Amino acid sequence: MTFALRLAACLLTLAAMPAFAAWDLPQLMTELARNQGGRALFTERKYIALLDKPVVSSGEMHYRAPDYLEKRTLSPRLELMVLDKDEISLERGKQKITLRLREQPEVLAFVASIRGTLSGNRAALEQNYALHLSGQRDNWTLNLSPSNPRIAELVTRITISGSRQQVRSIEYLQADGDRSVMSIEPVDAR
């Protein structure tokens, strides 16, 4: 076979192969935006400098796109956190606190990191964070580094990992060195 025929055969083979586009941020955001919600179980480990062992909690979460998230901690004690549009409510025992997010810009930026990721809202994420994506569609990691100095005083980095449209873990590294790692296991999807 001559060189020209071998070259033509290679080019035809390459042309017949499916195109493999690089996994990028727009593709991830599109995948995440497809997730309309569902239930998941979570286990969260909080590593606090003053403690020898992590504080472990677990429970269930319910997400409904684009702006409702309920986190119900079942162990070690009952706690309920609800993000609903512009409000966050925390309930523990007989105590209940409700905040309007627009009155709490730092809390709003923190909430936007979760809500923006779950809903695939890149613009919301980029208001307070620089984004860096690594991995492939079935095993990706999104790092959020605060671009807002007020947020950087609280959080050094947020690392979110997942597969396709599912978030599987969220790690918060606080500016004081404490960190929180949440593992998420989907139960069902809507």
- Whether omega for the bond prior to residue 105 falls within 30 degrees of 0, making it cis, is no
23-189: what fold?
Answer: outer membrane lipoprotein receptor (LolB), chain A (2.50.20)
Through-space distance between the first and last CA atoms of the chain, rounded to whole angstroms: 56
**How many CA atoms does the CB half-sphere of 20 hold within 13 Å?**
4
Tell which phi-psi region holds residue 38, choosing left (phi > 0), alpha (psi between -120 and 50) or beta. Answer: left
Residue 110 pLDDT grade (very low, low, confident, very high; cuts 50, 70, 90)? confident
Q: What are the tens digits of pLDDT across the range 10-37?
A: 445 544 444 445 689 999 999 999 988 8
Q: How far apart are CA 104 and CA 12, in angstroms?
A: 59
Note the pLDDT of residue 14. 46
